[in-house]
Amino acid sequence: MLNRRHFLQQSAAWGSLLAVGHSAAQTATDYKALVCIFLAGGNDSFNTVLATDSASWAAYTATRNQAPTPINLLPAGTAPNASAAVGSPEWLGGVLPLSPSVPVAGRSFALHPKLGQLQRLFNTERRLAVVANVGPLLQPLTKADYQTNRLPVPAKLFSHNDQQNMWQALGTEGVTQGWGGRLLDSFVPASQQPNLYASISVAGNAVFNSGARVRQFQMAPTGAIALGGNANWVYGQTGVAAALRKIASNGLNTGTARQSHVLMADLGGVAQRAMVSESTISAALAATPTSDTRVGPDTRLQMQDLDGKTIENPLARQLQAVARLVAARSTLGVGRQVFFVQMGGFDTHDGQNKRHAELMARLDHALAYFDTALEDLRVRNNVTAFTASDFGRTFTSNGDGTDHGWGSHQFVLGGAVRGGRLYGTFPVLATKNANNNQFDGSPDQLANGVLLPSTSLDQYGYTLAQWFQASNAGAVFANASNFSSANLGFV
């Protein structure tokens, strides 16, 4: 039998489009927003941010220049070869050198050839920082600790679902409160309901956005989704959506409809909140004139793919939605917001050269667009965007791709970012020994060259939370206190 609790649990599965709380002003008197840019699938950090000093480059080239398809990028200054296979290292040309404002002794660095805008934001604008070798850790961990099982490690490493959840919620699959939502909880007085527009995902249901009290609001990149506006949102049935609208409009009125059935009243309340929220956010966006209110064809969102075709960049479209919501912050009554956007395709087990180059081009274009959009709104100093991903990938190649790893390098972008610098400790790279895929010459590389993180996810998040001025930062990132410096200082 379908009891009341089970029915409401199923109703919640429709997503936060239907499950949103009442709006209330937040206590923050200024405005700040965090934007999580999730690279789903596990980004290959080894071909995103590269160490180019002679020892590192020799190890990199020796390891990744493998048959049948080398995946090693070429040295800085190598001219692109337009006659080579599209996306191949020869076609891309050399890596793009970085010029850190604080040099790292004995080391030099570069970016993937398709990250030209990020190179500018790092070298010239100084609004982009690189945080090296980040990953889930419980406490500082050496290679010997890991190999001898002397200290515990986070659960279910190398699993997509679990590590996506770990990066978003600091726990494996099944944890339902993300650290973005939990940080927002600290801004909600006990006497008030959370502002339902404080936590917004533009990429479907994201555990990152859900807190103990804060609920996430999901919207499409083109705007709020009307109840029943897409048949797939309500069990694929347009009739269900129509029924919910009728219940919402009639079922909450005093009289027999409300008094006769508790389930109808509860469901009507959920549906009514969905309708009200969609109407409110649509009106707020429409009433906020900015250069980013256009939702039709927009050349700023367009780019050329590797094959020379003009396409709209889906990640840029999501970030446009974020910019529009930031512009409407006063109308929506929010002082703190967290956003979630996502780009998939990073599980590059094969065909990595072209696939990863295309992903890097899209990331580069989207972040450059977002930086400009924030400047147009005069809120660069108020919004900090950061990347996250399931994990890094292996240093070794499986033929023409890579496998699941652990540590990875991340980008942080914004006017408040102390950019033009590399934070954390960049790993020492080595080559595998003659007998197996162990990297004996590196204290930072495990089997297959997987990076043992030197910076914890808790430190990464705690640093962002401190800038966000969340009073519960220490409680949310409890493991940060296990490290010598909880705040990495990049923002």
Ranges of each domain in the chain: 31-223+295-482
What does the pLDDT look like over 428-475, one tens digit per residue? 999 999 888 899 999 999 999 999 999 999 999 999 999 999 999 999
Quickly state the pLDDT bin for 280 (edges 50, 70, 90): confident
Beta carbons within 10 angstroms of residue 105's beta carbon: 4
Alpha carbon distance 124, 422 (integer Å): 15
| Contact criterion met (CB below 8 Å) for 139 and 151 | yes
Phi, psi values for residue 396, rounded to 5°: -75, 160
CA 115, 117, 122: angle at the middle one, nearest 5? 95
What does the pLDDT look like over 292-305, one tens digit per residue? 544 556 789 999 99
Alpha carbon distance 452, 384 (integer Å): 27
Average pLDDT of span 39-65: 98
Q: What does 44-63 look like in DSSP terms, one character per residue? A: -GGGTEEE-SHHHHHHHHHH
- Specify the pLDDT at position 333: 92
- Specify the pLDDT at position 272: 65
211, 214, 220, 221 alpha-carbon torsion, rounded to 10°: -80
What does the pLDDT look like over 21-33, one tens digit per residue? 333 334 445 999 9
| CATH T-level assignment (fold) for domain 31-223+295-482 | Alkaline Phosphatase, subunit A (3.40.720)
Q: How far is CA 9 from CA 1, 3, 431, 440, in A?
A: 14, 10, 52, 51
Structure tokens at 446: 């495990």
What does the pLDDT look like over 94-103, one tens digit per residue? 999 999 999 9
Instruction: Tell whether the model's pLDDT for residue 363 goes beyond 70.
Output: yes
Beta bridge partners of 207: none
Quickly state the pLDDT bin for 146 (edges 50, 70, 90): very high
Quickly state the pLDDT bin for 278 (edges 50, 70, 90): confident
What is the pTM (predicted TM-score) of this model?
Answer: 0.88
Alpha carbon distance 321, 341 (integer Å): 10
The whole-chain average pLDDT of the chain stands at 88
CA 96, 99, 100: angle at the middle one, nearest 5? 130
Alpha carbon distance 145, 149 (integer Å): 6
Instruction: Tell whether the model's pLDDT for residue 255 goes beyond 60.
Output: no
Longest dimension (CA), the chain: 81
DSSP E strands in 52-152: the ranges are 96-97, 109-111, 128-135
What does the pLDDT look like over 335-359, one tens digit per residue? 999 999 999 999 999 999 999 999 9
Average pLDDT of span 218-242: 64
- Specify the pLDDT at position 233: 47
User: Which of 395, 398, 394, 392 has the alpha carbon at shortest distance from 430?
Assistant: 395
135, 183, 386, 394 alpha-carbon torsion, rounded to 10°: 20
